[in-house]
Chains A and B, each alone.
Chain A
Amino acid sequence: MPPDPLVKGLLSGDRIALAKLITDVESGSPRASEALRTVYARTGRSTVVGFAGPLGVGKSSLISRLVRYLRTEGLKVGVVAVDPSSPFSGGAVLGDRVRLDLPRGDKGVFVRSMATRGQAGGLAQGTRDTVRLMEAFGMDVVIVETVGSGQSDVNIRDVATTRVVVLVPHLGDDIQSLKAGLFEIADIFAVNKSDLPGSAEAVRHLREMTTIMSPRSDWRPDVTECSALNATGIEELWKKIQRHEDFVRKESSAHQESRDRLKKELRELLQRKLEERLRSMLLEDGEVEEWARQVEEGKIDPYTGSDRIVQRLSGQGRSKTVSRRSPRLDKGARPRG
């Protein structure tokens, strides 16, 4: 197959090509898989930093400051900013660009906004692959901003090697910080809006917490203070990110994490591909449709219906391996391992 002109464009620094490929990746087109296969070997070398945290803590503003700082250091930076899609209309307002006050016409920065399109966990489905495209494009640092929201938006763990959790003073007492979820994924806590009173106390609480929590690895989460408003603490934040990146390169516990990440990615990809395959099989099968119709009309219960469909598919030669391991149809095939 002749090489995709968009991939050629991407590798020669064409911004339009990068943008179009991201669109393909977002919509999960076959062209995207082909492009990713081609550029995969060029990925994995950039620093990928994730920013997570509740909404309104200043993630975008902080990223804006960090990007400006990194540009003065001569580093090329990609930013992927994720905002939620409406569960009702499927539409979205992607507002992170408003806060990104970046040097005009700077070719060393590429910003892409993404809507979650129904994906839970704080990222969009195409986020990881978008990061890879930006790496292949030649970005030294790729920053991923997650949806500003909940305590359980922890998927950034699967994408970024260094995770910064952004907080602000007066977010809650120290019990909040004992809860599971967001706090567990942080490699670095950045207390933003340090210009406000209560900042030092927030830092103290977090430091205390990091000393009593049992760490996932030999890395103890770092705590740093910054203010996107006054542009203070930005260089320190970057130094801490670099310190963690050094740790990741050296430590064996971090290597295990990277293996786990790839294992999980493989599982997710398989799940998606098998689900697609399964769906096309289901559509062609009259008997399956009949069972489904009976469930819809209330003639049989969904448990029986799904069992029957799985049995039916197990009987089909080409679906044998797929459906035998598929406990529930609605989740698609879930290979375990």
Chain B
Amino acid sequence: MPLRGKTSEVSTKERPLRVIIAKPGLDGHDRGAKVVARALRDAGMEVIYLGLRQTPETIVEAAIEEDADVIGLSLLSGAHMSLIPRVMKLLKDKKVRGVSVVAGGIIPDEDATRLRKIGVKGIFGPGSTLETIIQQVQNAGGRHAS
């Protein structure tokens, strides 16, 4: 079909997923978050990068303003069991719908189970491949990987 798929079709096709990438709390290691941000970009997503030392409040506020589909949190500090549930609670309190949360970093299995119970859609520990992360972020955002 020759005349389909012209440049301006961008306006009619499905919009890119919008993903917030942030590091909540006191944790200075952002290499992983940057690698993931870049991989999601290359997978066609719009990544709003918030960077280091964010509070759950600023992250949720950014997710509202940016109308994000997914929030990706990176934590290597061990504070995941206090910070991630706070993000989840704020999303609920502020009646933000349609935003999924995924997390990456050093998160022990038993914590991961508890986080999944409160609604975290994907958890990526060391050794997760970028393909897995991309796919699960797409799933979390309601898109099925093609």
Interface residues of A (CB under 8 A from B): 15-16, 19-20, 22-23, 26-28, 85-86, 88-95, 97-98, 104-105, 110-113, 115, 117-118, 125, 272, 275-276, 279, 282-283, 288-289, 292-293, 295-296, 330, 332
Contact = CB atoms under 8 A, between A and B. Distances in A.
B10 A117 contact: yes
A42 to B, nearest CB: 20
Nearest to A99: B51
Given A15-B64, A279-B3, A289-B2, A94 B46 contact: yes
A117 B49 CA distance: 17
Contacts of A289: 1-3
Contacts of B58: 104
A59 B57 CA distance: 25
A32 to B, nearest CB: 11
A98 B67 contact: no
A88 B43 CA distance: 10
Contacts of A91: 16, 40-47
Nearest to A290: B2
Contacts of A92: 16, 41, 46-47
17 contacts: A16-B64, A22-B67, A23-B67, A27-B11, A89-B42, A90-B44, A91-B43, A92-B16, A93-B37, A93-B49, A97-B48, A98-B51, A111-B62, A113-B46, A113-B48, A118-B7, A279-B8
Nearest to B2: A292
Nearest to B61: A105
Contacts of B45: 91
B42 A125 contact: no
Contacts of A26: 15
A88 B67 CA distance: 24
Interface in B1-28: 1-4, 6-8, 10-12, 15-16
Contacts of B12: 28, 276
B121 interface: no
A-B pairs, 5 with minimum CB distance = A292-B2, A91-B41, A28-B11, A19-B67, A98-B51
Contacts of A105: 57, 61
B55 A19 contact: no
Contacts of B40: 91
Interface in B29-70: 37-38, 40-51, 55, 57-58, 61-62, 64-67
B46 A115 contact: yes
Interface string B66-109: 11000000000000000000000000001110000000000000
- Interface size class on chain B is 35 or more
B97 to A, nearest CB: 8
Contacts of A293: 2
Contact of A288 (B3, B16, B46, B51): B3
Given A15-B64, A289-B3, A275 B8 contact: yes
Residue from the set B40, B58, B67, B96 with the largest chain A CB neighbour count within 10 Å? B67
Nearest to B17: A91
Given A20-B67, A279-B8, A288-B3, 11 more contacts: A16-B94, A16-B95, A19-B67, A22-B67, A85-B46, A91-B40, A92-B16, A93-B38, A115-B16, A118-B7, A118-B10
B3 A98 contact: no
A272 B62 CA distance: 31
A103 to B, nearest CB: 10
B15 A296 contact: no
A279 B6 contact: yes
A99 to B, nearest CB: 9
B34 to A, nearest CB: 9
Contacts of B15: 23, 26-27
A14 B112 CA distance: 34
A112 B65 contact: yes
Nearest to A282: B3
A29 to B, nearest CB: 9
B78 to A, nearest CB: 24
B90 to A, nearest CB: 11
A289 B38 CA distance: 39
